[in-house]
Amino acid sequence: MEPKSLKKQRIPTVCLTCKSQKLRCDRIHPQCSRCKRNGRECSYDYGLSGPPTVSNQVDTPASNASPGFSIPPISPNFISNIMTDESSTEDREVKIDTNGLDEKLEMWDINKQFLSHGYHTYVDLPYATHSIAQHDPYLRLFCPSVHGTTLTDLQSRLEYIKASNNNDKGHINSGLLKTVNEISPLMFIEDAVVKWVAKTTDNVNNQLPWEYFNTIFTIEDRMHPSLVSTIKKLITEIELLLPQKNKINKLLKHFYQNIYPFYPLIEIPLFESDIRKILIDDGVSLSYTVLIFQENIRERLESLTLFLIIICLTLRDPNLNFQETILDTDESGEVAKKLLLLSQKILSLLNGFKYTTENILCCSLYLLISEILNPGNAEEHISHNSILTLKCLTDMAYTLGLHEEPSQFIRYFDREKPSQPFFMYRRKLWIGLQSLRLEIITADGGCRDSDFEYLETFINNTKSSIPSFIEQFNSSTLTDRKIFVLHDNEYQFHMLMNKVMVNCGPQCKNLNLYNIFQAIERLKEFTFRKFPLSKLLSDNDNKQLVEVEWRGACFNFSSIEKTVILRINLIFFSSLMNIFYMLSQYFEKKCCQKLEKYQTYYHQFVLQSFDAYLELTSLVKKFLDNEYRSVIMRYHEYCLNKSVAFIVIKIQSIQLGLILRICYKYSILRNKDTSNKYMFLERSNMTESIMFRNLQQISVQIKKQIYGIINSTLSKYGDTYFGCYQVMLMGRYVHYIVENEQLVKLTNDYWRKASETNEIPSKILDMMKLKWGLGPLDINIVLYYTTNPLALTGFNNTLLDLMKDALEQANVYDNLTVIPRNPEFSSNEQEVLQQLLQSNFELFSGVIGDSLGSLPTI
């Protein structure tokens, strides 16, 4: 009898990448068209066969004699060709010879990175949100219109209140009163304004007193009596605020399990040894006694400060009490705020930039992390002061020599403390610092060649057989080894990202498309290999690793790995989106001069940016909708939430740039059609009819995406993440005026008032000019982009067809909530806003005064 034949395994019909993101897949083997178009790793292997292949979007040129790069074609039938597989790979690619663009790319204008706003003056990072808005002419003219309208509305209300109090309504500027009873941005952000008042008052009440800065006394074993008295007072306050011993144990365990894996700056055995010296358990009291006045007072204060900052960082986790109530949410927030203030006082007294130590750097880094992750932080994006702080701490790391392999410093072997844990501590500080720099500085183009050299020095000096630092962790615990395998990959990613940003940033003296694409290709291939999104498809390993000596902390490495994968992909796609968007802005302007020469480049970069935008929005939307909850623990979201909140705002900037172009293209075409309707009655313009239809169809999709990201963000975070919350409220206003076809009218009305009337106060116009770079005297620039067909000459049907195809493939916004056409504003809500302005008249007058614009706005 013949043996029964084995049942043939069915070939999966949806690739892993599309399935993990719930995207439409055309199921072409061995590589679907979506993955091929985006250069993504594509595999139908659900554990049945060998490793998947990688398709490169950018081909290495065959020879230096004919440099070039391959890009997706820009013909309207490109997608259909792939879907039906009617052409070969070569037929589906368009080869652009870089020799055809024999000119220097002059993308950057330092004037557009300059920002003067209130008390702030600085040059922003190249790919920061404000810089992108400045280089995009449509964002540049829209943002001051919304910002200026908000502040004009505010001033009109304040003047009305002032005049009412003085019984002098006759002297109010009638132009200002026009906005009082109209729907304006201020009405949409009313709730954010209320919370902003509370936070502003709170910040005033919690400032550090002057005596904690630049003290003439030195903290040492023998101190000046006045300094001893100050420190004793601080210690007493700390002891009163510290949670009970059992709660401190739970807080440290929570930190080790859920925060340390993503910010591993400390050597935990060393840290535990140090805090045992200062936290005294008398066996009777429920709380610890803090012991400082012994030998090595500075070291004890450094350890105490680090301990306090770690406790504060943990207390601010919104998910802290998810399974077990450690500290009431309101109480934990208040304790964290007070303890953090006390730790800052001690850190100021320690004068770390004079007395540089590893502990001082660690305290400062965790303090920065605490402020960045703080849900109550009102920043809408990474602020210049966070960037400046990180740059200063980077210089401190250079001063400490952390970029060098610590085992080279043989004099450390003579120390009383064991050298290996100390060496490990130094390595972790450098690696953790670079992880912060990746997200805060490098991802927005703030890096230089010298930064890469420092990154490379640390790798090269390990004397490892491979360019990696992981061999230095062979003597660590299994937990640390597994954590730093992930950070080793992230470090390599950082080096590649640095190269990309240097090649396409303002510091590059000779911007070259070929070099940019080659650097991006290397980064892309590494990212898809080491951080594959297919791993987010399912959770295959729920095993936990327990570290008994780390207060019994349990580590779910499956969730940790997937959190890192998502974080790196968010950085990757947001950076690509910004790079291609800036390139598209450059070639959009060039198309106005020579359409035939530059249109191909313009269309290419618009599509590249659009693809990255859709990929990024898909990832973010799924995270906000909790679709990754099965693979990423809720506790691990704390270290992702702020990154996602910042990226949401970047996504909204791109959405706004797209919708502005669609609306103004439609407006220009409609006005053109009206003016010419008597000249061409004998034949209809089919091209423009098709364009009207395309613009309308794309507009519908983009509006849904704008609403979708706002709705998901507010559903996920509410007002917990305040900086993001206020931007989402302003986003609702933007969506409202787009949905009601008022975007063009309101923007044009603002600039008409600014240039032709005195309805907008001159001080508001002056400040808008300083922040956004446009004022009443620049009306010719505004009119060019709002009325001249040449401004959007490359934004044509060819491009719109391809954008439609991309939207059809990115089928991620089908089930959105129905949006009411007009939001309802009750008179009661307006009374609340008016009462708020009356009771805080001086505060809001200050907003209109020297600190103009600190009010929540776009």
Give the pair of three-digit tokens for residue 121.
């003056």
Three-state secondary structure call for residue 704:
helix
Same domain, 790 and 687: yes
Q: Distance of CA 84 to CAs 32, 258, 803, Å?
A: 11, 47, 19
8 Å CB contact between 327 and 315: yes
Asked which of 333, 354, 376 is the last residue of a domain, the reply is 376
Sole residue written with tokens 């401004």: 791
Q: Are residues 270 and 335 in the same domain?
A: yes
Q: Is residue 459 in a domain?
A: no
Query: What local confidence, expressed as pLDDT, does residue 283 receive?
Result: 82
Residue 240 sits in the same domain as residue 355: yes
Question: What digits encode the pLDDT tens for the residues 424-475?
Answer: 999 999 999 999 999 999 999 999 999 999 999 998 876 666 778 888 888 8
pLDDT of residue 199: 66
**Residue 638 to residue 621: CA distance in whole angstroms:** 17
- CA 46 to chain CA centroid, Å, is 33
Please state the rounded mean pLDDT for residues 573-599.
Answer: 94
| DSSP β-bridge partners for residue 280 | 289
The pTM for the full model equals: 0.84
Are 230 and 168 found together in one domain? no
387 part of a folded domain: no
Dihedral, CA of residue 66, residue 68, residue 70 and residue 73, to nearest 10: -100
**Structural domain count, the chain:** 3
Q: What does each C-alpha distance from 295 to 277, 677, 745 come to in angstroms? A: 11, 91, 71
Residue 110 lies in a domain: no
Range of the domain at 137: 129-204+654-848
Confidence of residue 814 (pLDDT cuts 50, 70, 90): very low
How close are the terminal C-alpha atoms of the chain, in Å?
Answer: 78
- Is-contact 228 301, C-beta < 8 A? no
Cα-flanking dihedrals φ and ψ of residue 184, to 5°?
A: -130, 170
Q: Which residue has the higher pLDDT, 378 or 365?
A: 365
User: What per-residue confidence (pLDDT) applies to 182?
Assistant: 60
Q: Which of 121, 150, 190 has its CA nearest to residue 847?
A: 150
Residue 531 lies in a domain: no
**Does residue 607 lie within any of the structural domains?**
no
Cα separation values, 638 from 261, 308, 721, 725, Å: 12, 19, 11, 16
38 domain-assigned: yes
Last residue of a domain, one of 320, 352, 376: 376
| Pair of tokens at residue 271 | 């840290």
Cβ contacts of 397 within 8 Å, gap of 6 or more? 361, 403, 429, 430, 433
Query: What pLDDT score does 816 carry?
Result: 35
> Is residue 534's pLDDT more than 70?
yes
- Whether residue 841 sits in one domain with residue 732: yes
Same structural domain for residues 85 and 134?
no
Among residues 376, 409, 431, the one where a domain terminates is 376
Residue 244 and residue 188 in one domain: no
Is residue 66's pLDDT more than 80? no
Say whether both 133 and 96 belong to one domain: no
Separation in Å, CA 233 to CA 206, 239, 311 = 17, 10, 20
Query: Does residue 542 have a pLDDT over 80?
Result: no
Out of 215-229, 565-579, 740-754, 839-853, least confident range: 839-853
Shared-domain flag, residues 174 and 267: no
Quick one: which of 775, 749, 748 has its CA closest to 764? 775
Give 384-429 pLDDT, tens digit per residue: 889 999 999 999 999 999 999 888 877 766 666 667 888 999 999 9
Same domain, 170 and 228: no
| 807 and 840 in a common domain | yes
Taking only the tens place, the pLDDT of each residue in 136-154 is 999 999 999 999 988 888 8
- Using alpha carbons only, how large is the chain's radius of gyration in Å? 29
Residue-wise pLDDT tens digits, 303-314? 999 999 999 999
| Block residue for tokens 């091209």 | 687
Please tell me whether residues 192 and 258 are part of one structural domain.
no
Average pLDDT, the chain: 81
Domain assignment present for 734: yes
Digit-coded pLDDT (tens) for 837-851: 666 655 555 554 444
Asked if residue 146 is part of any domain, the answer here is: yes
